[in-house]
Structure 1
């Protein structure tokens, strides 16, 4: 009877509830870690169900603790960061979403919800991960079953993912001795002081290194789960962000391992304008298969970026590629055709990504309930991250080779990217950074690249504010403030 009771309890669990600021020790929306551990002895699949609840947090609306139409998990944060990087322009604002963010007033006011949404979202992920870790015996546990190892590995990778993004968003730059964000390594004591950036990133790479070992041999049920390749991808990002010589070498090696050995392939020229809408793409390493019965509609990433979905992009809140970045794309590059150029510049649909992200029906405003999928990581990231880290560690020939592997699938004529062979030093790094921005436009990667490469950005003329104003990567306006709720409720901050 006990087994049946617990199975019923977990089948109804949705991991989207949490206390006000991750301060309540045992929020009553969650099954306790002790219960998880107890029931998993009867049925190991229960741990997978609990992890599924954590993963669902990544794409559910309201997980940032608000009822805002910009609050829908990781892809919501991706829009925030793409706009802060300057590569995504809010070229028209009919309903006001993202306006305070693009004005850079929200990031200077800790009472604004834009600061609260990422904070609460990532600490929810961390809270769920810590519950799984505790159920498996704690941070130093050594599970004796494959199921236990794989669950612990996923949880440690999720915890690292949460802390890594918090470090990115709430620290102006990586200065090891600077105070950053609270490290939360247990679900029992949540009022933690701010750790240094060094302490945060040391824990992030520790969790990821352990996750990679624990996930060895894990065959995941679908691409929503983190496997060893995704954990290696996250590790590559973390080490590249730290940026010292030893860390860059580790980032380089992890990225190359995934690019060479994961079995994923670079999108072809045809696929590059194929809609980016299916988790079945062999380029996608990590993503979610969304179906209409999940009920996602207006409040969704697709609603915010897709002209062919019934929501804000269609109705008048336009998100377009920065026209300065667009001008840098070679005319023979297939990625230039991802953006709408068929109308005059005065038309508000100019430079929308209507050939990159679109519902296959291609009826404007036609997709009412979301059935197109979302991507968190694809293999091209590893090719370009390898190229970046190889160039930074003196392996310029190898960097050029991997950069050209991507470009070979974006041009029909190798002569169009033959100039890569002559690049060296900073011009080569600049080119890799540019190609990273172009390749992953709208996918939430430009902000990470901006900080890694210590870039200065300048918005084009199709933005509604700060046109042509240079802003360095560590401008405080490009980084979020620790939200008011945490400041008021965490006495140890």
Structure 2
């Protein structure tokens, strides 16, 4: 099993070497000799069919790559794929407090400076990361005949399905991060589907239509696919992304249907023991946890050390969180957690409300983990219980919303307390409770920002933030979305404005 995982990673890493470090991956009119083209993939794959699989696995490897692989300065210790973006989003949402700032990697985000100034590197890192995924996904799809192809071979069907899901996932995050609020008529992003490319910004409706189409196709193409490893996208992962997409669009009926599809896929809720140390199976550090749907198994030979999500979050990893760049739960959010809620014990008052009992290297030796082997989580079942309940509450099916929330909260609060809390609620108070529980349950997992946007929330920071403590921001304020980066404005003559 371990050797197979290592082989997959080696193929994936090799494929990332085809990607150059300029903006040429965004501009199809420019030829960058460091980027493999669709014609070259087609030619090479006839000689070596494994190449296209390597490119597809390379798309997945982008989600966990540190330092410069995503096109930024190799010395940027906050650039490591999706989990790096997750930290930025959690900080912008206000739920994650930068409670000490010794090295400065997150000060521009925590101070909400990079979100209003397109010259800051965070904007480019995020932009380049997702557009590289889109570029590589387009190459894979093009190799099999383009956007309308439905391969007959089962292996080819799942490859195209996974590529379309990756493309949709990247575009979904771009819409959330670079548009202040959902407006289908607003021109927001360049559009690249490998066939009908447009360097100018197109209306959000066009981007969302591609996301929806890609995910519906992916679900159909992968309907008979049974994956080997949880880092591989399958129909359930695609359904989860689609549920989030519909919710972002305000289509809560469709969002709820796909959230329920994920729930019905058979992944259990995270158990009481798994939620916090010292429970059996706790730690949010093991891809084999039954509730985890999508994530990445890190192994020692991958070489993840100082620069990694774990290094920025975990007291027990030798890196920044231990050394003085503390990431804590916002103290106002912490105060809102019931004292009898097991999730309150995920955070330690002895360690500045750091998540020492939620995310930790199993040995629990402070600064002890150097070669990182704790796994990365992208998606788990619990978030779809919360999303399903939110959708039911927003479409008037309150009885179903309450039943789902009581089921989720029983292992957190106890059955009686969960019922006493949820049963009396209705209308906006029920929606507000679901939003609060989403923030508590998914703290540090990169999902609070998405919930903030779709709930049109106003966030007020607690007192334990180094920057902007006590200040309030509306979900659609300039400070809470990122900017199209300076490099794109400079190199793309068809874009001259931010938003």
TM-score > 0.5, shorter chain as reference: yes
The answer on whether the counterparts of 2:12 and 2:60 sit within 8 Å (CA) in structure 1 is no
The answer on whether the counterparts of 1:78 and 1:443 sit within 8 Å (CA) in structure 2 is yes
SS of structure 2 residue aligned to 1:116: helix
SS of structure 2 residue aligned to 1:320: strand
The answer on whether the counterparts of 1:248 and 1:389 sit within 8 Å (CA) in structure 2 is yes
Shift of 1:191: 6.2
The 2-side partners of 1:12 and 1:312 are apart by: 29
**Residue 252 of structure 1 pairs with residue 260 of structure 2:** no
- The number of aligned residues is 475
The 1-side partners of 2:34 and 2:78 are apart by: 24
Matched residue, 2:493 = 491
1:52 counterpart (40, 49, 57): 57
The 2-side partners of 1:448 and 1:11 are apart by: 30
The answer on whether the counterparts of 2:409 and 2:418 sit within 8 Å (CA) in structure 1 is no
Matched residue, 1:4 = none
Matched residue, 2:185 = 177
Matched residue, 2:279 = none
Matched residue, 1:5 = none
| Residues 216-227 of structure 1: pairs in structure 2 closer than 5 A | 216-227=223-234
Alpha carbons of structure 1 residues 318 and 9: separation in structure 2 relative to 1, 3 Å: closer
Matched residue, 1:296 = 304
Alpha carbons of structure 1 residues 374 and 10: separation in structure 2 relative to 1, 3 Å: closer
| Residues 247-396 of structure 1: pairs in structure 2 closer than 5 A | 247-260=251-264, 262-273=265-276, 274-341=282-349, 343=350, 349-396=351-398
The answer on whether the counterparts of 1:333 and 1:411 sit within 8 Å (CA) in structure 2 is yes
Shift of 1:413: 4.4
| Residues 9-24 of structure 1: pairs in structure 2 closer than 5 A | 12-15=14-17, 17-21=19-23, 22-23=26-27
Shift of 1:294: 0.4
Shift of 1:97: 1.2
The answer on whether the counterparts of 2:12 and 2:59 sit within 8 Å (CA) in structure 1 is no
Shift of 1:42: 6.5
SS of structure 1 residue aligned to 2:16: coil
Kindly provide the CA deviation profile for residues 397-445 of structure 1, in whole angstroms up to 9, marking residues without a partner as x: 1111111121112123423442201111000000000000000000000
The 2-side partners of 1:339 and 1:432 are apart by: 21
The answer on whether the counterparts of 1:23 and 1:191 sit within 8 Å (CA) in structure 2 is no
The 1-side partners of 2:196 and 2:168 are apart by: 18
The answer on whether the counterparts of 1:60 and 1:73 sit within 8 Å (CA) in structure 2 is yes
The answer on whether the counterparts of 2:11 and 2:54 sit within 8 Å (CA) in structure 1 is no
Runs of 4+ in structure 1 off by over 6 angstroms are 8-11, 188-191
The answer on whether the counterparts of 1:19 and 1:27 sit within 8 Å (CA) in structure 2 is no
The 2-side partners of 1:415 and 1:465 are apart by: 36
Matched residue, 1:474 = 476
Alpha carbons of structure 1 residues 81 and 270: separation in structure 2 relative to 1, 3 Å: same
2:199 counterpart (192, 195, 198): 192
Matched residue, 2:134 = 126
The 1-side partners of 2:418 and 2:148 are apart by: 52
The answer on whether the counterparts of 1:64 and 1:118 sit within 8 Å (CA) in structure 2 is no
SS of structure 2 residue aligned to 1:18: coil
Note the aligned Cα RMSD (angstroms): 1.8
SS of structure 1 residue aligned to 2:199: coil
The answer on whether the counterparts of 1:17 and 1:29 sit within 8 Å (CA) in structure 2 is yes
TM (norm. structure 1) is 0.93
1:101 counterpart (94, 106, 109): 109
The answer on whether the counterparts of 1:176 and 1:198 sit within 8 Å (CA) in structure 2 is yes
Shift of 1:189: 8.0
Matched residue, 2:237 = 230
Q: Could you list the runs of 5+ residues in structure 2 that have no partner in the other structure?
A: 1-9, 277-281
The answer on whether the counterparts of 1:15 and 1:128 sit within 8 Å (CA) in structure 2 is no
The answer on whether the counterparts of 1:44 and 1:147 sit within 8 Å (CA) in structure 2 is no
Q: Could you list the runs of 5+ residues in structure 1 that have no partner in the other structure?
A: 1-7, 344-348
The 2-side partners of 1:45 and 1:396 are apart by: 50
Moved more, 450-459 or 53-62: 53-62
Shift of 1:210: 1.0
Shift of 1:43: 6.3
Alpha carbons of structure 1 residues 402 and 44: separation in structure 2 relative to 1, 3 Å: farther
The 2-side partners of 1:397 and 1:267 are apart by: 23
Kindly provide the CA deviation profile for residues 230-258 of structure 1, in whole angstroms up to 9, marking residues without a partner as x: 00000000000000xxx211110000111
Kindly provide the CA deviation profile for residues 17-69 of structure 1, in whole angstroms up to 9, marking residues without a partner as x: 23412226454334332343455557655433221111001100122523210
**Residue 241 of structure 1 pairs with residue 245 of structure 2:** no
The 2-side partners of 1:17 and 1:312 are apart by: 29
Matched residue, 2:5 = none
The 2-side partners of 1:225 and 1:327 are apart by: 38
Matched residue, 2:425 = 423
The 1-side partners of 2:376 and 2:96 are apart by: 18
The 1-side partners of 2:16 and 2:54 are apart by: 10
Matched residue, 2:166 = 158
The answer on whether the counterparts of 2:11 and 2:58 sit within 8 Å (CA) in structure 1 is no
**Residue 91 of structure 1 pairs with residue 96 of structure 2:** no
